[in-house]
Structure 1
Amino acid sequence: MSTVPRARHRQLSLDDLGTPLAEADLVVVDLETTGTSASSDAITEIGAVHVRGGEVIGEFQTFVDPRRPIPAYIAALTGISDTTVRGAPAIDTVLPMFLDFARGAALVAHNARFDLSFLTASAARIDLEWPSPTVLDTLRLARLAFGRDEVRDHRLGTLAAHVSATTTPDHRALSDARATVDVLHAIIERLSARGVSTLEDLASAHRKVSAVQMRQKHLADSVPSGPGVYQFVDEHRAVLYVGTSRDLRTRVRTYFTAAETRRKVLDMLPRAREIRTITCATATEAAVRELRVIAAEQPPANRHGLRPEKATWLRLGAGREGLRGARLARGEDDGSAQIGPLRSRHDVEALRGLLHDAVMGRATTFEGTDRARPDAAHHERLRRAMIEDPTEVLDHVVGRLRTLAGLGRYEDAEALRGRVQTYLDAARRAGRLRALARVGILVAARPAPAPAPMRPGWELLAVRGGRFAGASVVAAGADPVAVARALAATSTGEAELVTPLCQGYHQEAEILHGWLAGQDVRIVLSDGSWAQPARARFDTEALQRRYRAAAS
C-alpha cells in the first residue's frame, strides 16, 4: 500500500483552491488522559507525528504531570500510573512546546473532538492563545472512505489492522499517533480517487460548496502569497470583514471551499466585490495590523477587536480611595494599582470582595456610605496582592476552600475557586502589560524558518511602550543589528501613543508579549529594562501549592 497521496503527481493550475495534500503539513496527535471530561480531567501524555507528502518529518512525545491521581482503571488501560508521571513537566510547560512543534500545520486526530477538547481546555486554563488550526478527524473521514461492508467498525485498532498499519495502537499516545498516520494515508489514497486533492477538500469532504462561494471564488484570483491582512469590501468600498494569515493566498481561497461554514462569513460573501490585501514582513506584524484595521473600520462581520479602547480594570486608588472598577488604566507612580483588563465588568464586585476579605477581613462592607476604605497598612497590602505577591489572598482562599469542603458546600467552593482564578488571570495579564509599557524601545530577534537547504535567517520585532513599532526578516549571514537600529529609528512616532498598561491597545500588546515569550528570542537592543514577569506568582499552580502546603 502506498502512503504517498496521489495529489503529489497532479499538475496544479492557478485555479486550484487550497493547499495540495502533498505540500500540506499535518501533525497527527493523540492524548492519554485521566478521564473523559476536558473540564475536570487532565492530560497525562501527548504523542504527535509531523508528516508531509507521506513522509515523517518529526515526532513529539512527553508525559505530563496531571497534578491529580490517575484512576486505577486508567492506569491499567494505558500503563501510565502516578509513578510514571512523577517528575514529568506540567501542562503549562508542555503545551507551548507542542504548539511550537505543530505551528503552521493542520492537526489530525482519531475522534478529534476528544483530543481537541482537552487541548483547548488546557490552553484556556493556562491563559495560552489557541491558534485555531485546521482539524482533520480520521474517525469521520474513515466513515466516508471505508464502508461497513469493509470494516465492522471505525475504531482506530480496527482501521489500523485493515490498512496493515506498521504500528499497532496500544493506548499509548505516540503509538496511537503513528497508527493514525497510516490510517490517514490510507484514507487520502481512497478519497483522492473521488477528487479530494487539497487540505481544504479533505477537511470538508462531507460538505458541499454553496452556489455563492462558487460564484464569488474569482475574488481570490489576485490575492498574493505571504503574511498579511485581507479585507472583504462591498460595492460602496465599505469593509465587510477583516482577517489575517501567514499565507494570504492560501487562507483567502478557503473562504470559497466547503471548509468555510461560519454563518457570518457566508452571509457576508454575497455582498463582497473586492478583496484588498496588506502584505506584511511577518505573521506577527499581520496580526497587529489586523487589530488596527478592525478598530479603524469596524467591519460588521468581525467581533473580536472592534473596540480595543474598551476595557474594565480593578483599580486601587491612591491614598484611601479603595478598590473600584475603572474604564481607563492610569499611571501607578502615585501608589495606585490596577489589574486587568477583566473578562467582564461583572467581575469587579467579585474581585473587590475577594481582596477585601483576604486583606481587611470579612467584616468589611461595600454597601452605601459604609464602603470600607483601607488605611495605609491595608492599602499597601492590597497593592502588594495586586502587583507583587498573591500569597496573602491565596492563603485566605485556601482556608475558605478547606472550610467549605468540610461543610460539604462544594458549589460554593467551586464559585470561590472561579473567583480566585479570575483574580490570578487579571493580575498576571496586568503584569505582562505593565512590563511591556515600561520599555521605551525593544528590538528582539528569533530564528526565521527557511526551507532546506537554506540557512535560517532572523525575524526581528520592534516594540515601543508595548506598541508594535516594526518588523523585518533578515537573511542568513546579514547583520541583524543594523536592521534593528533602523527599526528603532523609524518607529519614534509610536512613542506619542504609548499609555500606562497599554491602555487602548492591550490586545496588540498581548500578541507582542506572546512573541517575546517564545523560544530562542534574543534581545538585540533596548532602551529601558525588560524582563518577563514571574508567571509562577500569579498562577493556578501557586494556589495548588498553597493548598498542598496547608494540607501537609
Structure 2
Amino acid sequence: MSARRQLSFDDLGTPLAEATLVVVDLETTGTDPRADAITEIGAVKVQGGEVLGEFRTFVDPERPIPAYIASLTGITDASVAGAPPIRVVLPMFLDFAGDAALVAHNARFDISFLRAQAAACDIGWPRPQVLDTLALARTVFRRDEVRDHKLSTLARHVGASITPDHRALSDARATVDVLHAIIERLGPAGASTLEDLGTAHRRASPVQLRKKHLADAVPAVPGVYQFLDGSGAVLYVGTSRSLRSRVRTYFTAAETRRKVLDMLPRAESIRVIECATPTEARVRELRIIAREKPPSNRHGLSPEKAHWLRLGPGTEGLRAARLARSEADGSAQIGPLASRHDVEPLRGLLTDAVLGRGAALETGGGRGRTVEGGHRARIRRAMLEDPQEVLDHVAARMRTHVAAGRYEEADTLRRLARTYLSAARRASRLRALSAVPLLIAARPSTEAVIGGRGWELLAVRHGRFSGTTLVPSSKDPLPFARSLAMTGAGEAELAAPLCQGYHQEAEILLTWLEGDGVRTVLTEGTWQVPARARFDADHLARRFARTAQSAEA
C-alpha cells in the first residue's frame, strides 16, 4: 500500500480567511471597452470579512459623457472636470489592488475595460485572479429564490448595508455584501479556499480529471513548463513564479480557454525548466515558443516578424518596413507597430504635420516618394527626439473637430496620436538598450534568497538576456557581476538594430531595468535609461488644453 502524500500549501490553496480581495466597480461612457472610457472607479479591499481600505475617484474620460449615461449615473461632464485621466488613475488603482484577486459583478465588463485601458496607456496588466459574483450568484441563488441576478436584486435579498445606485463605490460596497453572502452559502459545500471559490460555478471536464496526475511532480519554483505529446513534441509553453500552483490550474474548472482544453487530450507529459528568477523564466518562455512554435501558443510565435514605419536615407520618404535596420545612414524608424494597418495612417500624420495638411495625399504613399531637406530633418526629429511639432498639429485639429461637434473624428485623431507616441517610445527604448554591449544591473530581490533578503542581478548584451543570479544581502554583488560578465558572450553575435527579432525579450528586460531600486553594477559602452516622458501621452493633453487658452485669448 503506497504512503499517503502529505499536502503542501500549494495543494491546499489560499484559505478564504487569508485571501485579500478587491471588489471593484466602474462607471463608463458606454459598453464598448475599445471605444468607450471610464468615468469613475470605486473599490473596496477586504480580507476575512474585514474592510482594509477603499478607493474611489472620478476619471476624466477626455470626451463628452452621453446624456443617457449622465441620466443613469448622475455623472456629468461637470462631475469629471478637473479629474485625473485614466493613465494617472490606473497605476494608482493597481497599486491599491496589489496582488489581491479582483471581484466584480459581471466581471467581464469591468475587467475588460481595465485591461483595454491598460493596453491603451502602455501599462502592464498584472493578470490577477478574477471572481465574478454574477456567475457565483447564479449558482448559489436559484430562480425560485430571486427573480433575477442583478446587483440591486441580490443586494436587497441578502440585506446589504447599502443600496447600489450606479455609482462606483456604493455599487462596490453592495457587491462586498453579496460576496460575503455567497461565501457563507458555499462554505458548507466545501469552498474553503480562493481557488475553490473561483471554480464553484464550474466543473472540471473529464479529460482534465483524467490528466490531473501530470502535475504531480511539478515543483513549486519559478520557471517554464511545457506540455508535451506522446512523441515529445511541444504543445504549449507557459511560465509562472510557482510552477506547481500554475500547472495545477490547467486541470481545474478555472481553466476555460479553448486552446488549452483542445490541447489537453494530446498531452502526455509536462517538462519543466527551473529558473533563478521570473525574468529568466519569461525570457526562456519566449525563446522556446519562437523555436518550437507550439500549436496552442499565440503570442511570441514569430518575433522576427514586426512592422515599422521607416524614414529611408538620403531623400527617401516614409514607408512600411518589416526589418529594423541600422540608422547610421541617417534613416530612422519607429515601432514595432501593433498592426501593419497602422503604417499608412502614421505616415499621413507625420507628413501632414510637417509639410502641411493634405501633404500626405499630394506626396502619395508609394515606395520611392521623396522628402527633401529641412522637411526630412523635421520628420526625423519627430521620430527620434521631439514630438512637439506633431502634437501641436494634432491638438489644433482636435480642437477644430470638437468646436464643430465632431467628437468621433477628434477621438480617432487622438488614438492615432497615441499610436505614434507609443511607437516612438518603444523604438527609443529599444534603440538605447540595443546599443549597449554589456549591462549588468542589480535590484532588491522579490524572490527568496539564502539568508532572507538579497539582490537580483541581471546581465544584458545588446538587449538580449545574458544571465541572472541571486545574491544574499550579506555578500558583495560585484564578484557575482564579474562572473556574469564572463557568461553569455555569444549573445552579442545575435545583436540587431533596435533589437530586431527579439524586441519582446528586450521589452521584458527594459521593464525590469526601469523598476524601483535598480542600480547599475557593470557596463561596457554607455547606458542611459531613455526619458519616458519624451513621448508621453500627457504631452498631447497639455497641448490640447493650450489650444483652448489660445482660443479664449
With normalisation by structure 1, the TM-score equals 0.85
In structure 1, the partner of 2:470 is 473
1:196 matched to 2:191? The reply is yes
**What amino acid is the match of 1:226?**
V
2:324, 2:365 → 1: CA distance? 25
In structure 1, the partner of 2:532 is 535
1:118 matched to 2:113? The reply is yes
1:457, 1:79 → 2: CA distance? 51
Q: CA deviation at 1:346?
A: 3.0
Cα deviation code 1:289-333 (max 9, x no counterpart): 110110111111111101111112111122112222222212222
1:395 matched to 2:392? The reply is yes
Matched positions, count: 539
1:251, 1:281 → 2: CA distance? 17
Q: CA deviation at 1:208?
A: 2.2
Assess if the C-alpha contact under 8 Å between 1:444 and 1:462 holds in 2. Answer: yes
2:124, 2:426 → 1: CA distance? 13
Q: CA deviation at 1:463?
A: 2.6
Assess if the C-alpha contact under 8 Å between 1:228 and 1:279 holds in 2. Answer: yes
1:367, 1:170 → 2: CA distance? 52
2:528, 2:119 → 1: CA distance? 24
Assess if the C-alpha contact under 8 Å between 1:18 and 1:253 holds in 2. Answer: no
In structure 2, the partner of 1:494 is 491
Cα deviation code 1:341-365 (max 9, x no counterpart): 1222233233222222222343432
Change (3 A) 1:473 1:181: farther
Map 1:38-437 to 2 at 5 A: 38-52=33-47, 60=55, 64-68=59-63, 89-148=84-143, 150-151=145-146, 154-156=149-151, 159-160=154-155, 163=158, 173=168, 176-361=171-356, 362-363=358-359, 364-366=362-364, 372-403=369-400, 415-437=412-434
1:178, 1:408 → 2: CA distance? 38
Q: CA deviation at 1:268?
A: 1.2
2:139, 2:394 → 1: CA distance? 52
Secondary structure of the residue aligned to 1:394 is: helix
**What amino acid is the match of 1:140?**
A
2:39, 2:525 → 1: CA distance? 41
Assess if the C-alpha contact under 8 Å between 2:225 and 2:270 holds in 1. Answer: yes
1:446, 1:80 → 2: CA distance? 43
1:50, 1:524 → 2: CA distance? 39
In structure 1, the partner of 2:13 is 19
1:299, 1:265 → 2: CA distance? 12
Change (3 A) 1:414 1:132: same
1:50, 1:255 → 2: CA distance? 28
Change (3 A) 1:57 1:232: farther
**What amino acid is the match of 1:534?**
A
Assess if the C-alpha contact under 8 Å between 2:319 and 2:366 holds in 1. Answer: no
Using the TM superposition, name which of 507-516 and 344-353 deviates more.
344-353
Using the TM superposition, name which of 184-193 and 92-101 deviates more.
92-101
Assess if the C-alpha contact under 8 Å between 1:18 and 1:199 holds in 2. Answer: no
Cα deviation code 1:186-213 (max 9, x no counterpart): 3223113223344343223222221111
Assess if the C-alpha contact under 8 Å between 1:220 and 1:275 holds in 2. Answer: yes
Q: CA deviation at 1:62?
A: 5.0
Q: CA deviation at 1:113?
A: 2.4
Secondary structure of the residue aligned to 2:189 is: coil
Let me know the Cα RMSD of the aligned residues. 3.5
Q: CA deviation at 1:262?
A: 1.6
Secondary structure of the residue aligned to 2:283 is: helix
1:393, 1:413 → 2: CA distance? 15
Assess if the C-alpha contact under 8 Å between 2:277 and 2:447 holds in 1. Answer: no
Secondary structure of the residue aligned to 1:468 is: strand
1:62, 1:462 → 2: CA distance? 41
Change (3 A) 1:490 1:113: same
1:404, 1:66 → 2: CA distance? 17
Using the TM superposition, name which of 481-490 and 263-272 deviates more.
481-490
Identity of aligned residues (%): 68
Change (3 A) 1:54 1:525: farther
In structure 1, the partner of 2:506 is 509
Change (3 A) 1:70 1:222: same
Secondary structure of the residue aligned to 1:224 is: coil
Using the TM superposition, name which of 158-167 and 140-149 deviates more.
158-167
Change (3 A) 1:344 1:246: same
1:367, 1:510 → 2: CA distance? 30
Secondary structure of the residue aligned to 1:113 is: helix
Secondary structure of the residue aligned to 1:193 is: helix
Assess if the C-alpha contact under 8 Å between 1:18 and 1:254 holds in 2. Answer: no
